[in-house]
Structure 1
Amino acid sequence: MTTFIFDVLKDLHSRDVNFSKLTFILPSKRAGLFLKHQLSKVTNQTIFSPHILSIEEFVEEMSQLKSISNSELLFHFYNTYVHLTKESEPDSFETFSKWAQILLQDFNEIDRYLILQKNIFDYLSAIQDLKHWSLEENKTDFVKKYLSFWKKLPVYYQHYTEQLLNKKIGYQGLIYREAVENLEAYIQNNSNKQHVFLGFNALNTAEETIIQELLQNDLAKIYWDIDAVFINNTSHDAALFTRQHKTNWIYFKNHPFNWITENYSSPKNISVFGVPKNIGQAKFIGSLLNNLKEENQSLQNTAVVLGDENLLIPVLNSLPQNIEDLNITMGFPLKSIPLASLFESLFHLHKNPSKAFYYKDVINIIAHQFIRPLFYEDSIDYASKIIETIESNNIIYVSTERLKQMAPLHEDLINIVFSNWDQSIEKTLKNCSALILIIKSHLDSNKAANLLPLEYLYRFNELFNELARLNIEFGHIKDVSTLFSIYKELLTSETLDFQGEPLQGLQIMGMLESRVLDFETVIISSVNEGVLPSGKSNNSFIPFDVKLENKLPTYKEKDAVYTYHFYRLLQRAKQVYILYNTEADVLTGGEKSRFITQLELEGKHAINHQIVSPQVPVIQAALQTVEKNENLVNDIMKLAEKGFSPSSLTSYIRNPIDFYNQKLLKIKEHDDVEETVAANTLGTVVHNTLEDFYKPFIGTFITVENIKKLKSHIDEKVSHHFKNEYKEGDISKGKNLIVFEIAKRYVSNFLDLEIRDLKAGNQIKIIAIEANNDITLEIHELNFPVKLVGKVDRVDEYNGITRIIDYKTGSVEQGHVEIVDWEAITTDYKKYSKPFQVLSYAYMMHLMGAIKLPVEAGIISFKNLNAGFLKFAKKDKSGRGAQKDFLITNETLDNFKVELNRLILEICNPNIPFTEKDI
C-alpha cells in the first residue's frame, strides 16, 4: 500500500523540486511527522529538512499574532464587557462566562469566514428586536437591557479585537482575518518561496483566499486526496467541499486538479460489528487486535480510530499483553486523573464559607490516595484515627480545631487543606500550590516508584500557576465558586501527553488525528448517530437561516467533514472493522450511523455485518460452603469455652455463614456515622434508661408512687444515655429530635403500663435487672466445655408467678412468641427466633438456680405496649383454637434442651460444614 503522502512526495520528486526549499502545509502537526519519515524513502541523498507546518502555524506566522488559550481570551473579553457596561450592573464573571463562550465561538466563525461583522450583528439585533415586540411602547427594564445587549455586539467586537491586536494576540478567527490582511505583504516578501498544501478538505473563506492567492502567484501547489467514486457522485457528502473547490476556484480552469484517485474501488474486507455498550466495544477491539496478532499480522500499519475519545482508557485496559509497540495520539484528559477528584473535593468543601465541614466531605479528602499517606507519622495512621474518631463519636460536622486534636502532629497540613479559605482567591491558590509541594515531597522519597503521580503533580502545578497568573493579571475571579468554574474550564482542555514512538506499532487516535494518514488495517469505534457524525448542535447565537445567508457552516457542513474523514480512512485500507453501539443512548449517541447504511446501499464492497454478544460465562449459583478444618474446629472450641449467647445461636439459625463471619472470623459490621439515630441506638437508650430506673427496686415490690416519681426523671435519663450512645451527634433538631421524643414516649408509656397494672391490684416484685447468666452445659458427645451466656433485661414476680422479660423496641405480636413444633425452633429463624431467645434465658436461669419452675417468659414490645406482656406459649398441632400452654415447666425446658444440644452439636461437628442459607 502506498500512502497519499508518499504519492505526493513521489510526484514532487519526479518534477525535480528542491525539497529543502519547500514549505509543506498540512491539516495537522502529526501528519508532518509522517511526511518527514516518508521523505527519506523518496530522496536518495542527504538533504536539509523542508519547512513543515500545520495550517494553524502557517496562518499564525502570516498574521504575526500569537494564539492564546480560550480561558485567557475569556478574561480579555470580560475586560471589554465591563468597560462597555458601566451604566448598568455587569454580570459576574461566572455568569458572563456561560454566554460569552458561545459569543466568542460566533466571533471566531465570523472572522474565519471573513463576514462583514456589522452586517451580521445588526441582523441579529433586528431579530431580537422583533422577538420582543419592538412596537410595544412599555417595555420592561429587563427587555430594554436585553435588547441593549444585542445592539452593543458590534461595539463589543470592535473594542475586543482592537485590544487583542494591540497586544499582538488573538483567537483563531482573528488570526485568520489578520493573515488575509497581511497576504499581499507576505507574497511580496516571499516571492521565492514554494508552498505545498496537501490533504485539505473543508476550508474556511480565509484559508481559501490565502491558498488561491498563493496558487495564482505561482507560489504554491495543492494536492487533494479524493476518490473518483465520491467526486463523481454529486450527492456523496465525502466530496462536498472538494467538488465546490474544483468548480469554483478560478485556478483549476487552467491547471490540473491533483488528485482524483481510484483507491476506494480496490478490494477490501469490510466488517461491521454491532456491540452492546461502549465497554463492550473496547473489549471487542482488544479481541480483534489479539486475533490479528495470532494470525501473525503486523500491527505496524494498523490504526484504532476512536469515534468517541472517552473510550481511550477502556481500550487501553483491553489491549492484549502481546502488543509491544504502541503510540497514542490523543492525550489523557487531566479531568480523568485521580488528582482531579482531590481538588474537586476541596473546591466543593470550600465553595461556601463554614467553620465546620460535613463529615463525608472530610472523610472523602482524608481517605484520598494522595492525602492519606501524608497523615502517616511514627508508624501511626492518623488518617484512620481521624476517620474512626468521627465515626465512633457520630460527629456530623467537623471543625478544623477538632481535626487538629485528632492529629496534633499534622496541624500544618490540616491548616492547608481544611482551614477556612475565607473566600480569598489568593489564599485558595496558595493552599493548592502548597498542597502540591507537600505531596511532591512525600512522593520524592521513592521517586522511581512514583514517576506517574509526580507527572500528575507537575501538570496540576502548571494549571494552578496559570490560574494564579490570570488572577494577578485580570483580577476577575472574586470567589471560590468562580475560581472552580475557571479551574474546570482549564481542566477540560488540558491533557497529559503520552510518550511513545509515533512511527512504530499500533496507532490509537481520534478521528481528526487521522487526517492525511493511511493504514492497511483500520478499526473504527462508536460509529453511531450523534457520534459519527455528531449531528445537529446549536452552540451559537446565530440562527440557522442567518448562517445560510452568510455562507457560514451549519450542521450539514460539519457532518460532511466527518463523512470525508470516515471514507478517507477506507480509501486505501485493505481490512476495515467498523464497530457501533447496539444500545441506543440519547446522551452518548443513538442508532447505528448513516455511514454504515450508506456503505451497505452503495454496493461497492461486500459488507460482513454481525451482531456481537459478550461471552458471559454461565456461573452456577452455589451457596457458599466452609469446610471445618483443624484450625477452624479449634476456634469453635475456644468460642464454646468462652460461651455461646442466644443472639449468636440465632445468628447461626438464620445463616451459618453469618455466624462464621462474625463469631469465628471476627468480622464486624462497619460502624458508620449515624446522621439519623439508628434503631439499635434507640433500643440501647431505652434499655439503659429502664435499667437505671428499676435497679434500685431489686428485691422489692414496686408501687404506683415509685413509678410516678420516675416519670419526672425521664428527660434527664434519656438525654444522659443519648449522650453516651450517640456521642456528639445532634439530637436537638430534625429527625433526631423526633427519635429523642420517641424514646421518651416509649419510657413514659412503659411506666404508664406499670401504673395501670399496679392500680388494677397486681403485685410486681423486681427480682433482677440486666442479669448476667453464665452456665456450663453438659453435652456428653463433646469432649470440651460448652458455655451458654446471656443478659436478661428483667426478671420479676407478677402475682406470685416469676416472669422473664425481654424488651424489644420493634413491633412484636403474640404469635411471634409461640411455637408448635419443637424441631423447628432451631431451623426456622423467622418464626421462632424470639421463642428461642426467651427459652434460652429461662433455661440458663433454671440451671443457675436463679428461678423456680414453672415460670413465664416473653417480650414487652414498645411498639405494641397495649398488648402488654407477650408470653411464650406452646401450642398443640390441632390448628385454630388450639390450647396454649403459657407456663414454662421442666418438660418445656427438657424439650428445649434436646433442640439446643442438637444445634450446638451441629455447630461443633467437624464433619458438618458451615453452609449458606438461601435467604
Structure 2
Amino acid sequence: MLQTSKILIVFPTSRAIRESIKRRSNENLLLPSYLTIDEFLKKSISIKNKKYIDEEQRFLYLKNASDIKNLSKLGISNNFTSFLKQSDYLFRFFGELAAEKVSIDSIDEVDTYEYYKEHISILKKIYNNYVTILDTNNVVDKINLPNNYEINQNFLNRYESIEIYFEGYFTNFELEIIFEISKYTKIIVNLFSNKYNQKSIQSFINFGFELEEGYEYKIDLTNKSIIEKHKEVSNLENTKAVAFTSRINQIAFIKESITNAVKSGIKAENIALIVPDEKFVEILEQFDDEQYFNYAMGKSINNSKLYKVINSIYSYLNENERKTKESIEFYKINTEMIDSIKKIWNKKLDKNNFDILIEYLKSIEHNKELTEKFDELTYKLDHLFFNTSQNILFKEAVKILIQKIQKITLDDINSGLITVMGLLETRAVEFEAVIICDFNENYIPKSSIKDKFLSSIIKKRVKLPTQKDRENLQKYYYYRLMNKAKNLYISYTQNETMQVSRFADELFKDEINPSTKDKQYKQILYKNKSIEHFNETIEYEIDLSKQEWSATSLKKYLECKRKYYLEYICKIKEHNISLKPKGFELGSMVHKTLESAYKSFQVQNINYELIKSLFEKQMNENPFLLLDKEIFLRKLNIFVEFENKRFEDKNLSVLEIEKDFKFDYNGIVLKGSIDRIDKQDDKYLLIDYKTSASLKIDSIKTYENSVDFQLEFYYLACLELFGYDKIKAYYYDLNNSKLLEEVVLLEKLELLKNIFIELKTKKVNFEKCEKTSTCQYCEFKTICDR
C-alpha cells in the first residue's frame, strides 16, 4: 500500500477537493490531505503577538480613519449608514495594494492628472490613519498582513510535498508566500498556459521556467524543474448557443439542454449550470418543479418569511403605498408593533426597541438554520450599533439589517443532481455537459469595484491588475470550463437593452445567431391554453323597463347590449390587479375635490391654494397617476380663475353639489347624482363635470346617434323632484375651463322617450355591437374575441 498521508493537495475550491476525493475513492491507498488555497495560505503563515481583526471592528476602525475633510470627493458619504455600504470600495482598493505589494506612495510617483492627485492624497490619508489604528490596537487584517507575517514552519513540517492546482491568478503577496514555502518544503504546481493567462504565467517565467502557450505543466518550484508537459487538448464536441428576447425564457432552454445531455448518455451529476449573475437563481428556483438543481452558492432567503416581513415593515413605514399596506395585511404582521415602531422610526436608535423587533422576527421564522444564522448576524450588529457611539436613526438600522439579511444563504439540503454555480466555483473541476446562461454584456465580463479610484493607465504603471487583466482572467476561466466539457449549451438575452457578451466573439463566434427562439421553447415553461371565446347568441327573457337605469348603464346598453349583459345582469366585474390607471380614477379625484371645495366654503373663498390642498388630499395610491395629477393641478389653476370671473355676477350661486336622485319616470326607475346645480337669477344651471381631453358635444347633425344622456337625466330629475322650470344644461370642460351648453337638450329628450319605450321588452337578444371601435378599451373584449 502506497503511503500518501505526507502529501498535501491544494485546490482552488472545496468543490474541487470533493471532486478529487470522489475520483480517487476506489484507489487502494491512503488519501492525501486536502486544503483550499485560501486555507493553505492562512495556515502557512503566522502573526506574532497580534490577532486577526473581526469584521465589525474592522469597519469601525476604517470609519474612524475616514473621518476627514473632502471624503465626499471620493464619492463616499460620511453618513454611518451610507459608509457601511460604501466602505467596501476602500477595503478592496487598500486590499489590492497590499496583495500586489504596491506602496500607496508609489502611486504619487507616476505621472497623473491633478484630478487623481487630489483623490490619491485623500486615499493616502485614510490608508495611513487606518494602518496606524491597526498597529495601535495590535491587530492584523489583509491590508497590513504583508508587513506582519512569518512562515509557519511547524505547519509545513507535517508534509513531504505540497501539490498545488493553480487555476487563474496569484497575487504578488501569495506568490511571495508560495516561493518562500518552496525553500522549506517541496512545492509542485499544476498549471495551464494559454493566451488569456499570460500575466499569471509571467510570474513563473520570471522565476526561471520556460513555459509556452497551449500546454499544461506540472512544475517543481523547489528544484525549478518541469516534471510534465502536455499539449492542450479540447474535449468539446458540440456547442449550441441560443438567444431569447426574455431572460426568463432561458430556463426552457436550460431544461431542454439537460434532457438532451442525459439522452446522449451523460449522467445528471456530470452536468453543471453556470450563472454569471447569481440573482438568476431566485428565478430558476421558481421553475424547478422537477427538482433538477443543487445550488453551490446556497439558497437565497429572499422568499423566507423573515425577509418578507422585515422588508414589508420597512417599505410600509418608508413609503406608505397601497402595495405596502397590502403586504402588511398579507403577512399578518402585528399592527401594534408596527404602530410602536412608527413612533420611533425617525428617532435615534434605541437598543430596547431594536431588540423587540429582532425577537418578533425570530418568533415568526421556523427554519432552524435561518434563525441560527440570524442570531449570529444580530450578535454582530449588536456590537456594531451599541458597543460604540453611533448616531444613527432607527430606520437606518433596519435598512442595514435588511442589507445584511439579504446576504444570508441556506445550505441546499434537498438538492438535485445538476450543480448550479458561479464562474469561480468551476476552477479545477470538470463536467461533461456545461450550460451557461445570461451570456450577456450586462453580466460578462463581471465588473470589479477595485477599479473605482484609479484609471487603467495608472494601474498599469504601478503594476496593479487593470480592467483588461481582470477580463482576460474571466476569459481564461470560461475557456478552461468550455474546453473540458464534451457538450456546451449557451443562452443569452437579445433585445433593445441586452446584447450578447463581447466574449462570445472569441469563445464561440461561429455559434452566434441573433435571431431569437422564444416561440420554439415556450411550451416547456408554459402550458398552451387556448382562450375559449363565447360567440353564441344570448337571448334572455327579460323586461328591461323593470331594471333601474343610470345614464352610465344606459350608455353601455346603447353602445353594446352584450357588454350591458355581462356587467349588469351577469355582474362580472373588471379585475383590479394592474396598476395602470383606469379611466375613472383621475375624474373621481377631481369630482371629490370640487365637492369638498363647494360644500365646505363660500364661493368667494374658492382659490387655487384651497383647490390644490383638497386635490392633494385625494390619496390615490396608484403611482402611475402622479404625473396626471401634477398636470391636472395646472388646469385647476385656470379653472379657479374662470370660476372667480363667473362669480363676479352677484346673482350667481351654487345651489347643490353631488345631488342624488331616484324617481319613477313613465314606469322606469331612473337614478344618478347631479355633479352641481348653479342658480343665476331665476334660471337653474345643471352642470356635469368632464375631465376627458376628447370631449365632444352633440349637435343637431349628430344627436340622433348619441348614447350619452347624462344631462337629460339631470333635467328630468329636476323637473320631477325639484319643480324647476327654467333649466339650462352644461358640460363643464375642466381641461379647458369652459362651460359647453347642451344645445340639443329638447331633441335628445324626445329621443330618450323613444328609447324608454323600447326598453319595455319581453325578450332581448344581447348581441355584440357592430362598431368594433367601441371594443378597443372594453374590459370584456377578450371574452368576445374582439
TM-score (structure 2 length as normaliser): 0.75
1:792 Cα deviation from its structure 2 partner: 6.0
Q: Where in structure 2 are the equivalents of 1:372-387 lying within 5 Å?
A: 372-374=331-333
Aligned amino acid, residue 24 of structure 2: L
Other-structure match for 1:554: 466
Cα separation, partners in 2 of 1:572 and 1:811, compared to 1, 3 Å: closer
In 1: Cα distance, 2:560 partner to 2:716 partner: 23
2:271 to 274, 284, 302: 302
After superposition, what is the alpha-carbon deviation per residue over 1:63-94, rounded to whole angstroms, capped at 9, x for unaligned? Answer: 34676665542223234556999xxxx95545
Other-structure match for 1:123: 106
Other-structure match for 1:367: 326
Preserved CA contact (<8 Å) 1:283 1:315? no
1:850 Cα deviation from its structure 2 partner: 8.7
After superposition, what is the alpha-carbon deviation per residue over 1:357-395, rounded to whole angstroms, capped at 9, x for unaligned? Answer: 8642xx5544326874135xxxxxxxxxxxxxxxxxxxx
Q: Does 1:237 align with 2:201?
A: no
Other-structure match for 1:870: 741
In 1: Cα distance, 2:432 partner to 2:554 partner: 69
Q: Does 1:53 align with 2:39?
A: no
1:346 Cα deviation from its structure 2 partner: 4.8
Q: Does 1:269 align with 2:173?
A: no
Preserved CA contact (<8 Å) 2:159 2:185? no
Preserved CA contact (<8 Å) 2:635 2:735? no
Other-structure match for 2:701: 820
Q: Where in structure 2 are the equivalents of 1:669-708 lying within 5 Å?
A: 679-680=587-588, 682-683=590-591
Q: Where in structure 2 are the equivalents of 1:42-441 lying within 5 Å?
A: 42-43=27-28, 47=30, 50-64=32-46, 72-81=57-66, 91-94=78-81, 100-115=87-102, 120-125=103-108, 131=114, 149=122, 152=125, 155-156=128-129, 158-162=131-135, 166-167=138-139, 170-171=141-142, 174=144, 178=148, 181-183=150-152, 186-187=155-156, 190=157, 192-224=159-191, 226=192, 231=194, 236-238=195-197, 241-242=200-201, 244-245=203-204, 248-249=207-208, 251=220, 257=226, 260-262=229-231, 264-266=233-235, 268-292=237-261, 298-319=267-288, 321=289, 323-333=290-300, 339-340=306-307, 343=310, 346=313, 359-360=320-321, 364-368=323-327, 372-374=331-333, 410-416=335-341, 418-420=343-345, 422-426=347-351, 429-440=354-365
In 1: Cα distance, 2:386 partner to 2:598 partner: 65
In 2: Cα distance, 1:612 partner to 1:808 partner: 52
In 1: Cα distance, 2:721 partner to 2:449 partner: 85
SS across alignment from 1:909: strand
After superposition, what is the alpha-carbon deviation per residue over 1:598-628, rounded to whole angstroms, capped at 9, x for unaligned? Answer: 5448xxxxx5867432118899999986878
Other-structure match for 1:807: 687
1:468 Cα deviation from its structure 2 partner: 1.2
In 1: Cα distance, 2:678 partner to 2:109 partner: 91
SS across alignment from 1:534: coil
SS across alignment from 2:776: coil
2:21 to 11, 14, 36: 36
1:152 Cα deviation from its structure 2 partner: 3.6
In 2: Cα distance, 1:424 partner to 1:864 partner: 49
Q: Does 1:755 align with 2:714?
A: no
Cα separation, partners in 2 of 1:434 and 1:97, compared to 1, 3 Å: closer
SS across alignment from 1:313: helix
After superposition, what is the alpha-carbon deviation per residue over 1:78-134, rounded to whole angstroms, capped at 9, x for unaligned? Answer: 34556999xxxx95545655775333223322332344xxxx222334569982799
Aligned amino acid, residue 11 of structure 2: L
TM-score (structure 1 length as normaliser): 0.65
Preserved CA contact (<8 Å) 2:436 2:489? yes
Cα separation, partners in 2 of 1:177 and 1:63, compared to 1, 3 Å: farther
Other-structure match for 1:470: 384
In 2: Cα distance, 1:742 partner to 1:866 partner: 7
2:479 to 563, 567, 574: 567
Preserved CA contact (<8 Å) 2:432 2:486? yes
Preserved CA contact (<8 Å) 2:563 2:768? no
In 1: Cα distance, 2:596 partner to 2:79 partner: 57
Cα separation, partners in 2 of 1:99 and 1:460, compared to 1, 3 Å: closer
In 2: Cα distance, 1:608 partner to 1:798 partner: 76
Other-structure match for 2:549: 644
After superposition, what is the alpha-carbon deviation per residue over 1:844-881, rounded to whole angstroms, capped at 9, x for unaligned? Answer: 788x699899x9763263769998782442xxxxxxxx
Aligned amino acid, residue 170 of structure 1: D
Aligned amino acid, residue 59 of structure 1: L
Q: Does 1:918 align with 2:773?
A: no
Preserved CA contact (<8 Å) 2:434 2:488? yes
Cα separation, partners in 2 of 1:608 and 1:300, compared to 1, 3 Å: farther
SS across alignment from 2:519: coil
After superposition, what is the alpha-carbon deviation per residue over 1:47-76, rounded to whole angstroms, capped at 9, x for unaligned? Answer: 5x6432111112222334676665542223
Cα separation, partners in 2 of 1:299 and 1:684, compared to 1, 3 Å: closer
Cα separation, partners in 2 of 1:771 and 1:751, compared to 1, 3 Å: farther
After superposition, what is the alpha-carbon deviation per residue over 1:543-585, rounded to whole angstroms, capped at 9, x for unaligned? Answer: 5455445543222332232222112212332111233333474
Cα separation, partners in 2 of 1:860 and 1:610, compared to 1, 3 Å: closer
1:327 Cα deviation from its structure 2 partner: 1.5
Preserved CA contact (<8 Å) 1:838 1:858? yes
Cα separation, partners in 2 of 1:795 and 1:192, compared to 1, 3 Å: closer
After superposition, what is the alpha-carbon deviation per residue over 1:707-746, rounded to whole angstroms, capped at 9, x for unaligned? Answer: xxx867x669x999x99997999xxxx9999999888777
1:767 Cα deviation from its structure 2 partner: 14
1:521 Cα deviation from its structure 2 partner: 0.7
Aligned amino acid, residue 432 of structure 1: L
Aligned amino acid, residue 223 of structure 1: N
Q: Where in structure 2 are the equivalents of 1:903-914 lying within 5 Å?
A: 909=764, 911-912=766-767
RMSD: 5.5
Cα separation, partners in 2 of 1:248 and 1:61, compared to 1, 3 Å: closer
1:302 Cα deviation from its structure 2 partner: 0.7
2:427 to 515, 518, 534: 515
SS across alignment from 1:612: coil
1:32 Cα deviation from its structure 2 partner: 1.7
SS across alignment from 2:421: strand
Q: Does 1:775 align with 2:664?
A: yes
1:542 Cα deviation from its structure 2 partner: 5.0
Count of aligned residue pairs for this structure pair: 733
Q: Does 1:612 align with 2:583?
A: no
In 1: Cα distance, 2:384 partner to 2:680 partner: 82
SS across alignment from 1:498: coil
Other-structure match for 2:213: none
Preserved CA contact (<8 Å) 1:128 1:147? no
In 2: Cα distance, 1:78 partner to 1:767 partner: 66
1:301 Cα deviation from its structure 2 partner: 0.9
Other-structure match for 1:876: none
Preserved CA contact (<8 Å) 2:313 2:338? no
Cα separation, partners in 2 of 1:20 and 1:84, compared to 1, 3 Å: farther
SS across alignment from 1:368: helix
Other-structure match for 1:880: none
Bigger fraction of residues in helix: 1
Preserved CA contact (<8 Å) 1:328 1:498? yes
**Aligned residues with identical type, % of pairs:** 16
Aligned amino acid, residue 435 of structure 1: Y
Preserved CA contact (<8 Å) 1:274 1:612? yes
Preserved CA contact (<8 Å) 2:196 2:472? yes
Q: Does 1:789 align with 2:671?
A: yes
1:511 Cα deviation from its structure 2 partner: 0.6
Structure having the higher Rg: 1
Q: Which stretch shifts more, 366-375 or 664-673?
A: 664-673
Preserved CA contact (<8 Å) 2:197 2:473? yes
1:649 Cα deviation from its structure 2 partner: 1.1
Preserved CA contact (<8 Å) 1:690 1:747? no
Q: Which stretch shifts more, 474-483 or 309-318?
A: 474-483
Aligned amino acid, residue 177 of structure 2: I
In 2: Cα distance, 1:242 partner to 1:724 partner: 70
Other-structure match for 1:861: 732
Cα separation, partners in 2 of 1:247 and 1:366, compared to 1, 3 Å: same
